[in-house]
């Protein structure tokens, strides 16, 4: 998948985790390998990589903004 967004000063590549019953969208930093990945619940409408590729940059950015670093809350 070649979908990418710019956020927090870096470029991020979203990847759908399809290994569990509950799906998650993982954001891997494509521009800085030292950044930890970020994770957010994907929701019922994201079932395939094509579904993720069909999201707009604004939709991906909104999901990125809800994501947590390595699934650990900062609060």
The answer to whether position 46 is within a domain reads yes
The answer to whether position 57 is within a domain reads yes
pLDDT digits (tens, 9 = 90+) for 34-57: 888 999 999 888 989 999 999 999
Query: Going by C-beta distance under 8 Å and a sequence separation of 6 or more, which residues neighbour residue 3?
Result: 13, 14, 52, 53, 55, 60
The answer to whether position 75 is within a domain reads no
What pLDDT sits at residue 22? 80
Residue 49: which domain range? 5-69
What pLDDT sits at residue 44? 84
Tally of structural domains, the chain: 1
Mean pLDDT of the chain: 87
Is the predicted pLDDT of residue 33 greater than 60, yes or no?
A: yes
The answer to whether position 74 is within a domain reads no
């Amino acid at each position: 998948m070649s979908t990418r967004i710019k956020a927090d000063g870096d470029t991020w590549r979203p990847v759908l985790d399809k290994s569990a019953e509950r799906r998650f969208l993982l954001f891997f930093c494509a521009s800085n390998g030292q950044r930890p990945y970020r994770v957010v619940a994907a929701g019922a409408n994201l079932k395939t990589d094509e579904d993720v590729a069909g999201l707009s940059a604004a939709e991906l950015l909104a999901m990125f903004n809800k994501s947590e670093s390595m699934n650990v809350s900062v609060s």
